[in-house]
C-alpha cells in the first residue's frame, strides 16, 4: 500500500477489504450451524460469528495501523489477537481523491468503531438480510468515514461469488458500492426497531403519522433502507443504541446527503473517551433537508426523557 496515499484513504481501503472478509466469516459460521450463542443481557446476544469477526477485524486493522484507537462492540475479554492475518486493501478506495481537510490526519487523531455483526438477534433467527458489518472511522469527535458490509446481500442466489455487498462513504468525497436512490415524494415511510420497541418509540411514531412503518433489525440495515429510497426516516426514541451502531451509518449517510443525529438534533461525539451509549436516541433522514421537519415532530416529553 503506497505510504504517500493519505492515511484516511488507507484506513478506508483496509476497512473495505476487512469488512468483506469478516462477512465471509459470518457466513461460514452460519453454514456450520453452530452459532455459539451467549446471552449478554435483555435482547443482547453474542454468537461465534460476532467474536470471530471482531477478532479478525481488530487484529488486521491493529497490525496495519498500530497508533489508531479501535473500539469494538464485544468485550475485551472476548478479543483474542490473531497473528496470521493478511493486510489487504481495496484498490478503488486508494485511487479516490481525499478531501483536503483530511489529507494530513495522523493515526493519533483517528478512532475506529467496530460492530462486527450488527443485527445479531436477526442473525440467530435467520433474518439474514438485516445483518451488517459496521466499521466507522472518526477524526476528533466527528464520524467522517464508514463501511457497511452486507454479508448476505443476494444470498438467495446461492452463488458465493455474488453474495455480499460493501458500501463505503467518506464525507467530502461521497459514497461508493451502490447508487443511492431518493425516497418517494409525497409519502412518509419510517423505519424503526424490530426487537427493542418501547411506549416512547410508539408515542414518537404516532406524532409523526407515517404512511408506512418498517420494523426491521440492525442500525446499518435501517440506514441502508434510507439510502435505497425505501424509507424517509429512521426513528429510535430510546437510549438503547451504541456508538459502534451509528458511527459508520452516520458517516456513510452524511456522505450521500442524508443526516443522523440524536433526537435533539445534536451530533454524537465519537472521540475515544466518549461514553459508548447513545442515550439521546437516534433520528436519521435520507435527505438532510428533511431532518428539521422530523425533529419538530418529536414530542417535548420524549426529548426530556432522552438526555
Active site residue ranges: 50, 120
Q: How many contiguous H segments (helices) and E segments (strands) does the chain have?
A: 9, 13
Phi, psi of 189, rounded to the nearest 5 degrees:
-105, 125
| R_g (Cα) of the chain, nearest Å | 18
Phi/psi of residue 230, each to 5°?
A: -90, -10
Within its chain, how far is the Cα of 27 from the centroid?
18
Comparing C-alpha atoms, which of 271, 45, 27, 62 is closest to residue 149? 27
234 phi and psi angles, rounded to 5 deg: -115, 120
Q: What is the DSSP letter of 182?
A: P
Is 73 annotated in a binding site? The answer is yes
Q: Is 117 annotated in some ligand binding site?
A: yes
Instruction: Return the percent helix, strand and coil in the chain, to nearest 5.
Output: 40, 20, 40
| Pairing mode, strands 38-41 and 142-150 | unpaired
Residue 245 marked as a ligand binder: yes
* Residue 211 annotated as lining a ligand binding site: no
Distance, CA of 228 to CA of 230 (rounded, Å): 6
Query: Would you say 159 is a known binding-site residue?
Result: no
Binding residues for Mg(2+): 73, 115, 117-118, 245
Binding residues: 73, 115, 117-118, 245
Amino acid at each position: 500500500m503506497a505510504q504517500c496515499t493519505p492515511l484516511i484513504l488507507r484506513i478506508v481501503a483496509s476497512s473495505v477489504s476487512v469488512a468483506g472478509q469478516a462477512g465471509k466469516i459470518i457466513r461460514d459460521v452460519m453454514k456450520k450451524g453452530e452459532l455459539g450463542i451467549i446471552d449478554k443481557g435483555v435482547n443482547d446476544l453474542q454468537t461465534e460469528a460476532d467474536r470471530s469477526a471482531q477478532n479478525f477485524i481488530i487484529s488486521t486493522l491493529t497490525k496495519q495501523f498500530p497508533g489508531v484507537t479501535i473500539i469494538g462492540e464485544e468485550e475485551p475479554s472476548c478479543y483474542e489477537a490473531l497473528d496470521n492475518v493478511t493486510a489487504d486493501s481495496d484498490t478503488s478506495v486508494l485511487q479516490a481523491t481525499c478531501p483536503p481537510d483530511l489529507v494530513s490526519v495522523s493515526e493519533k487523531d483517528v478512532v475506529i468503531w467496530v460492530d462486527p455483526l450488527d443485527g445479531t438477534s436477526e442473525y440467530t433467527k435467520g433474518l439474514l438480510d438485516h445483518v451488517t458489518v459496521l466499521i466507522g472511522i472518526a477524526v476528533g469527535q466527528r464520524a467522517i468515514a464508514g463501511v457497511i458490509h452486507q454479508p448476505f446481500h443476494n444470498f438467495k442466489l446461492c452463488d458465493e461469488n455474488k453474495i455480499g455487498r460493501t458500501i463505503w462513504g467518506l464525507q467530502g468525497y461521497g459514497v461508493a458500492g451502490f447508487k443511492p436512490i431518493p425516497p418517494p415524494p409525497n409519502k412518509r415511510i419510517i423505519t424503526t426497531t424490530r426487537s427493542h420497541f418501547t411506549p416512547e418509540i410508539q408515542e414518537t411514531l404516532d406524532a409523526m403519522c407515517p404512511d408506512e412503518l418498517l420494523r426491521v433489525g440492525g442500525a446499518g440495515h435501517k440506514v441502508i433502507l434510507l439510502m435505497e429510497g425505501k424509507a424517509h426516516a429512521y426513528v429510535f426514541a430510546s437510549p438503547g443504541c451504541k456508538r459502534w451502531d451509528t458511527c459508520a451509518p452516520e458517516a456513510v449517510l452524511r456522505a450521500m446527503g442524508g443526516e443522523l443525529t440524536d433526537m435533539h438534533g445534536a451530533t454524537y461525539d465519537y472521540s475515544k473517551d466518549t461514553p459508548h451509549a447513545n442515550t439521546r436516541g437516534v433520528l436519521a433522514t435520507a435527505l438532510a433537508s428533511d431532518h428539521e421537519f422530523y425533529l419538530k415532530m418529536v414530542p417535548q416529553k420524549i426529548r426530556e426523557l432522552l438526555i
